[in-house]
Amino acid sequence: MSFQNPVFIPGPTNMPEHLLQACAMPTIDHRSSLFGDILHPVLDGVRRVLKSTNAHIFIFPSTGTGGWETALSNCLSEGDKILAARNGMFSHRWIDMCERHKLDVQVVETPWGDGLPAAKYEKILKADKNHDIKVVLATHNETATGVKSDIAAVRAALDAAGHPAMLFVDGVSSIGSMDFRMDDWGVDVAVTGSQKGFMLPAGLAIVGFSDKALAATQTATLPRTFFDVNDMQKGYDANAFPYTPPVGLLRGLLASLNMIEDEGLENVFARHTRIATGVRHAVDAWGLTLCANSPDVYSDSVSAIRTPDGFNATDIVTVAAEQYGMAFGVGLGEVAGKVFRIGHLGMLTDAMMLSGLGVAEMVMVDLGLDIKLGSGVAAAQDFYRHGS
């Protein structure tokens, strides 16, 4: 198996070699201060990336999905009421998890391609005079549709309604790649993973809890052990985990945080915007459109691109893999076959992005789409030349 080409799936991302090397460390005693020297700077660094001054950071050997479960099982009890919008596969899955945990979810069905409906949230919250709704779920970046939502607007809805519900945000494909403001937006639980903005292998659920969320754990009765944040906190206080920690991945996360802060968090965001804008120029040049319905919701970490009616967008992904050894993302759920996705998060360069666009063009021409070879590449080049 050789791995020459960059990948353009919306995570896991391409991994800078020194992050892989940081992960590939020999065994140390994970109950020693050596481990503490990795763990505590990691917790502090994650907190800074979340733009929080005092969030409680918890990291589990798991994935973003485990992060969702951490949020629910630590803060809620059977039958608790949840407000959520379904506007893509990942918001759908979180809703599904709520239902499996016997939570009572009020789902606002939302067109796939739209952002979260903050106005509808406000109306519902205002109507909930008894404050039965315990939590509002919000998917910051819908990886399935390439849609970024306005979390500040969701917070404003809560505030306008004077509603005390907690705000849980899935930032799996935004945190570390796009601006995320845990404190400013009044986020109570923020969830991400290691394999997106942090450019690491999958294997970590990374979660931030507000004081309010942490307080909620005292009364929440959903069963939890592996994902128990209070056990985890007790572990951290002793330089440990309640079970064996994934030491190498945490060391990789420390290296990733250093890398991000060396570049500068805002510079990282600007770079993602820049690369993504080039991709959007290419999509225009191809005469195609995004799944995302308006520029204000265009994601800077992934673009879902609609293909013409009657065309199976999944074929693009298949041919790219088989013919050119390059990985793109398929459409999921409601947009399966209708879109293909170009992931553009993590440590990308202009040059890497051009190779992705170049292959996408070849594949689309191979499949008979009316695309001019070089057209998208040229549009992106033209944008990249003039920089950010």
Q: Does 9 interact with its own copies (rule: CB under 8 A)?
A: yes
Give how many residues touch its own copies by CB under 8 A. Answer: 98
Q: How far is the CB of 330 from its own copies (least distance, A)?
A: 7
Q: At a CB cut-off of 8 Å and minimum separation 6, what does 359 contact?
A: 320, 324, 326
CA atoms of 325 and 314, how far apart (whole Å): 15
CA atoms of 29 and 86, how far apart (whole Å): 44
Span of 39-47, 150-158, 208-216, 318-326 interacting with its own copies by CB under 8 A: 318-326
User: Which residue type sits at 341?
Assistant: R
Contact 285, 375 (CB under 8 A): yes
Our measurement of the distance from residue 138's CA atom to the centroid of its chain's CA atoms, rounded to an integer in Å, reads 12
Residues within window 327-346 making contact with its own copies, judged by CB under 8 A: 327, 330
Q: How far is the CB of 33 from its own copies (least distance, A)?
A: 9
Q: How far is the CB of 263 from its own copies (least distance, A)?
A: 9
Contact 286, 375 (CB under 8 A): yes
Q: What is the CA radius of gyration of the chain?
A: 21
Q: Does 3 interact with its own copies (rule: CB under 8 A)?
A: yes
The neighbour count for residue 1, using CB atoms within 10 Å, is: 2
CA atoms of 192 and 206, how far apart (whole Å): 5
Q: Does 278 interact with its own copies (rule: CB under 8 A)?
A: no
| Chosen residue from 65, 233, 277, 312 binding its own copies by CB under 8 A | 65
Residues within window 239-258 making contact with its own copies, judged by CB under 8 A: 242-249
Q: Does 53 interact with its own copies (rule: CB under 8 A)?
A: no
- 199-238 footprint of its own copies as x/- string (CB under 8 A): --xxx------------------xxxxxxx----------
Q: How far is the CB of 302 from its own copies (least distance, A)?
A: 14
Span of 129-137, 153-161, 301-309, 358-366 interacting with its own copies by CB under 8 A: 358-366
Which residue, 117 or 248, is less far from its own copies as judged by CB? 248
Q: Is 155 annotated as a binding residue?
A: no
Residue 208, CB-side half-sphere exposure with 13 Å CA sphere:
30
Residues within window 99-118 making contact with its own copies, judged by CB under 8 A: 100-102
Contact 30, 241 (CB under 8 A): yes
Which residue, 215 or 321, is less far from its own copies as judged by CB? 321
Q: How far is the CB of 23 from its own copies (least distance, A)?
A: 7
Q: Does 287 interact with its own copies (rule: CB under 8 A)?
A: no
CA atoms of 181 and 152, how far apart (whole Å): 9
3-state secondary structure of 112: strand
Q: Report the sign of the C-alpha dihedral through residues 225, 134, 118, 271, in that order.
A: negative
Span of 29-37, 81-89, 125-133, 157-165 interacting with its own copies by CB under 8 A: 29-37
CA atoms of 288 and 144, how far apart (whole Å): 17
Q: How far is the CB of 30 from its own copies (least distance, A)?
A: 7
Q: How far is the CB of 73 from its own copies (least distance, A)?
A: 8
Contact 361, 287 (CB under 8 A): no
Which residue, 273 or 381, is less far from its own copies as judged by CB? 381
Span of 51-59, 123-131, 300-308, 317-325 interacting with its own copies by CB under 8 A: 317-325
Nearest to 191 by CA among 174, 169, 217, 165: 169
Q: Does 23 interact with its own copies (rule: CB under 8 A)?
A: yes
Q: Does 197 interact with its own copies (rule: CB under 8 A)?
A: no
Residues within window 165-194 making contact with its own copies, judged by CB under 8 A: 193
Name the one residue in this structure whose structure tokens are 């390059």. 326
| Chosen residue from 214, 326, 339, 342 binding its own copies by CB under 8 A | 326
CA atoms of 65 and 100, how far apart (whole Å): 13
CA atoms of 316 and 377, how far apart (whole Å): 17
Binding residues, as ranges, are 341
Binding residues for substrate, as ranges, are 341
